[in-house]
Amino acid sequence: MHKMRALIFGAPGSGKGTYSARLQDRLGVDVISMGDIFRNMMQENSILGRIIKRYVEAGLLVPDPIVIEVLADRLANMPKEKSFVLDGFPRTIAQAEVLEKITPIDVVIELAVPDWIIIERLSSRRICKNCGAAYNLRFMKPEVEGVCDRCGGTLYQRSDDNPAVIKMRLELYASETSPLLRFYETTKVPLIKHTTDQLEMPPEKVVDYIEQELKKLNLF
C-alpha cells in the first residue's frame, strides 16, 4: 500500500465530516479539514488566527495566499508516508492548480446528495459549542437532548442552517464545484462518486462503498 492523497467534495450537509472521520478510524488516514484548522487558529488567537477571524466574521472567504500558506504548512508537518483526505480545499481552479504544485492527488471522492435531503438534514442539525461534534435530531440524536455525547458541551443550531440560507449555500457550492470536478476529469484523476437517494442513509453504508472503491484503485 502506498500513500493515498484524496480530496472529498460534497455540498454543505452532504456528510463530508462524518464520512471523513469514519475513514480516519477505519483506514488511519489523516483528515485535513480547512474549516477545522481555521477554527483552531481563531481559538488560539495567533496573529494569523486574528486575520482569518476578520474575514470569517465578515462572511468573506479567506484569501488564497493565506489558505495556501496554512495548508502547505499542515502538509509539511505530516509524516511523509501518511495518507490524507483533504476537505474544504480546493474551492477554485486557481487553488487546484496551486495544490498540484504542493502535492499530487490520487483520487477525488464526490458525495452527490439531492438538495431536498440536504435542506432536511441541515435544518435538523445541531453542533456542540465545545468540541464541534455534529448531531441530527432526526437520525443521529444525542443521548441526552441538547447535550454532546462526547464532551457534555451544549448543542446549538448554526444561524446558517435555515432553508433560505441553505439554498444560497447550495447554489454557491454548485457554481464553485462543477468546474473543479471537470478540472480533475481533464487531469485524469480517478473519481469515486457516491449518490445518496434516501434521507436517513446509514453512514457505514456510504463508508463501505468508498472503501471498496479505494481498494479497486489499489489505494488501500
Domain assignment present for 151: no
pLDDT at 210: 96
What CA–CA distance (Å, rounded) separates 194 from 107?
13
State the total domains in the chain.
Answer: 1
In the residue annotation, 74 being an active-site residue is answered as no
Selecting among 16, 22, 121, 126, the annotated active-site residue is: 16
**Band of the pLDDT at 212, cuts 50, 70, 90?**
very high
The mean pLDDT of the chain is 91
pLDDT in tens, 24-41: 999 999 999 998 899 899
Of the candidates 163, 173, 175, the residue with the CA atom closest to the CA atom of residue 121:
163
pLDDT in tens, 141-185: 999 999 999 999 999 998 888 888 888 889 988 898 889 999 999
Q: What integer is the mean pLDDT of 73-88?
A: 92
pLDDT in tens, 189-203: 999 999 998 888 888
Domain assignment present for 162: no
Domain assignment present for 86: yes
In the residue annotation, 54 being an active-site residue is answered as no
Q: What integer is the mean pLDDT of 66-83?
A: 92
CATH number at residue 209: 3.40.50.300
Q: What integer is the mean pLDDT of 59-79?
A: 91
The answer to whether residues 211 and 218 touch, using CB atoms and an 8 Å cutoff, is no
pLDDT at 53: 92
Alpha helix ranges (H) inside 28-162: 34-44, 47-57, 64-76, 93-102, 115-123
Domain assignment present for 33: yes
Q: Give residue 133's identity as a one-letter amino acid code.
A: A
Q: Which domain holds residue 9?
A: 5-114+174-216
pLDDT at 194: 96
pLDDT at 165: 87
Q: How far is CA 207 from the centre of its chain?
A: 14
The answer to whether residues 111 and 14 touch, using CB atoms and an 8 Å cutoff, is yes
Selecting among 5, 22, 91, 126, the annotated active-site residue is: 91
Selecting among 138, 158, 215, 216, the annotated active-site residue is: 158
What CA–CA distance (Å, rounded) separates 40 from 205?
31
- Going by C-beta distance under 8 Å and a sequence separation of 6 or more, which residues neighbour residue 160? 166, 169
Domain assignment present for 161: no
The answer to whether residues 19 and 8 touch, using CB atoms and an 8 Å cutoff, is yes
What CA–CA distance (Å, rounded) separates 131 from 153?
7
What CA–CA distance (Å, rounded) separates 87 from 81?
19
pLDDT at 30: 95
Domain assignment present for 168: no
Selecting among 5, 22, 125, 126, the annotated active-site residue is: 125
Domain assignment present for 106: yes
Domain assignment present for 11: yes
**Band of the pLDDT at 6, cuts 50, 70, 90?**
very high
In the residue annotation, 16 being an active-site residue is answered as yes
